[in-house]
Amino acid sequence: MDPFAPLGRTMDAGRQQCTYSPGDIPANDCGAQATWHILWAPNGDAGLACDPHMAEARHRFVFTDSHRVGPDCDMPGTAWSFDEKRCFHPGELVTVTAAVEVPVREGAA
């Protein structure tokens, strides 16, 4: 069996739905809410999968990387981060959220 997933047509993935589509025809689109983002090849071909179809992809196909779907997955202008296991906007500022520490006075009379 061909270890490479048939990528088929480019789908509108802006709604982050599973792009599994046997036969690559719209009537067969899974359409479930995607939970996984799969990078099929280093060139950037990526797909979205629901839990059952991610399991099938792991079983049947080779792919480059995967991570849980986040808010930036498959959105225009985003890039894949292998290290952080997510998608991100390349221009995004790295915001460090510092917890505001409120001194706790113990035993204050």
Site residues for Zn ion per CB under 5 A: 18, 20, 30, 32, 37, 50, 53, 73, 87
At 42 the three-state DSSP class reads: coil
- Closest CB to Zn ion among residues 11, 73: 73
- d(CA 59, CA 53) in angstroms, rounded, equals 10
64's torsion region: left (phi>0), alpha (psi -120 to 50) or beta? alpha
- Min dist CB 56 to Zn ion, Å, is 8
Q: Is the CB of 44 or the CB of 62 nearer to Zn ion?
A: 44
| Shortest spacing between CB 7 and Zn ion, in angstroms | 15
Minimum gap (Å) between residue 4 Cβ and Zn ion: 19
Q: By C-beta, is 30 or 41 nearer to Zn ion?
A: 30
Instruction: Please answer whether residues 82 and 51 qualify as being in contact, where contact means their C-beta atoms are separated by less than 8 angstroms.
Output: no
